[in-house]
Amino acid sequence: MTATVLDDPGVTAGVGRTALLVAHARALEARRPDALAVDRFAEHFVRADQGCADWPLHPDEVAPGDPLWGRLASYFALRTRVLDAHLLTAVRAGVRQVVLLGAGLDSRAYRLPWPPGTTVWELDRPEVLAFKQRVLDDLTAVPSACRRTVPVDLREPWPEALTEAGLDPRLPVAWLAEGLFLYLPAEAEQQVVEALDTLSAPGSTLAYEVKLGLEAATVRASPVYSAARNRIGVDLLALFAPGRRPDTAARLGSLGWSVSVRTPFDHGAGLPRAPRPEPDDALAANRWVTCVKGR
């Protein structure tokens, strides 16, 4: 079944459009024989939005060296692979509560092999979750875990809404903030971290993405940024939260979490088509952070 085309300005505008950009990367990747990650739902989200009608959905339509549909898309595919593995490691260790902060068009509740008894909570703005739900309903998709959506703006208080939706703070939680902190003001990022720590029993895990510091002008002129802005109207630099970023990894360490900070290139070593470092690289400041709360 093909999803109905929807016209939803809440998704096509601003940060919500980046969710479509990531879904598009996953859609392209799913059609590759050597895919880094496979998301069979991603293409339906892209096709359902009128603003993506001219986006290519097959790798054969992408020119070699394309900074947007090539390099940036492979970055998102690698990130999907790494964060999928992080969550599955947590549930294999016995965690049964998974929380996706800023879930966007993430379909992990449907496509990952969750153990029986797993609940996945998805938190995002109401309009994003509504768009996503309409597409999934049109596909008659069935989640592979108990899925609960929590329509909230993460810049506002959200823990009470999550516990009211069934999260038990006495049990460990696998948290994921994929591409969230990049867009939050520093104060909001700190508030999210403090809140999730209070909801995390020992053995909880967290994975998130950050960008270190303000990039040089030569990096900000990267083809990755200019292609996204000029070709699909996504000005990533304008969406990134301004100002000095907090040292969230250090704060988590002080709260008793063991923290590992790695670059995307560390994770991509040895994998075909994973992005490699380039001069004036828009990806060089990105870090993927994984944490476990001590007992």
Q: What is the pLDDT of residue 13?
A: 52
Pairing state between β 257-262 and 286-293: antiparallel
Does the residue 3 lie in any domain? no
Does the residue 152 lie in any domain? yes
Of residues 74, 129, 73, the one with CA closest to residue 101: 129
Q: What is the pLDDT of residue 150?
A: 98
For the segment 83-107, what is each residue's pLDDT rounded down to a tens digit? Answer: 999 999 999 999 999 999 999 999 9
For the segment 19-66, what is each residue's pLDDT rounded down to a tens digit? Answer: 999 999 999 999 999 999 999 999 999 999 988 989 999 999 999 999
HSE at residue 104, side-chain half, CA atoms within 13 A, is: 27
Q: What is the pLDDT of residue 3?
A: 46
Q: What is the pLDDT of residue 2?
A: 47
Of residues 75, 24, 79, the one with CA closest to residue 208: 79
Rounded Cα distance, 188 and 175, in Å: 17
Which ranges constitute the DSSP H helices of the chain? 9-12, 14-30, 42-47, 73-92, 108-111, 126-138, 159-164, 186-198, 217-220, 223-232, 236-239, 248-254, 264-268
Does the residue 250 lie in any domain? yes
Q: What is the pLDDT of residue 243?
A: 80
What is the 8-class DSSP label of residue 216? P
Of residues 18, 71, 11, the one with CA closest to residue 238: 18
Question: What's the CATH number where 51 sits?
Answer: 3.40.50.150
pLDDT value at 118 more than 50: yes
Burial annotation 252-284 (CB, 10 A radius, 16+ → b, else e): beebebebeeebbbebbeeeebbbeeeeebbbb
Asked if 107 contacts 122 with a C-beta cutoff of 8 angstroms, the reply is no
Asked if 1 contacts 138 with a C-beta cutoff of 8 angstroms, the reply is yes
Pairing state between β 205-211 and 174-177: parallel
Which range, of 82-91, 168-177, 227-236, averages the lowest pLDDT?
227-236
Does the residue 104 lie in any domain? yes
Take residue 143 and report the two structure tokens written for it: 């989640």
Rounded Cα distance, 128 and 105, in Å: 8
- As a whole number, mean pLDDT of residues 228-244 equals 90
Does the residue 262 lie in any domain? yes
Q: What is the pLDDT of residue 12?
A: 54
Structural domain total, the chain = 1
Take residue 1 and report the two structure tokens written for it: 């079944």
pTM to 2 decimals?
0.94
Does the residue 1 lie in any domain? no
Does the residue 4 lie in any domain? no
Rounded Cα distance, 157 and 270, in Å: 42
Q: What is the pLDDT of residue 202?
A: 98
The whole domain housing 252 covers 9-293
Q: Return mean pLDDT, the chain.
A: 92
For the segment 126-138, what is each residue's pLDDT rounded down to a tens digit? Answer: 999 999 999 999 9
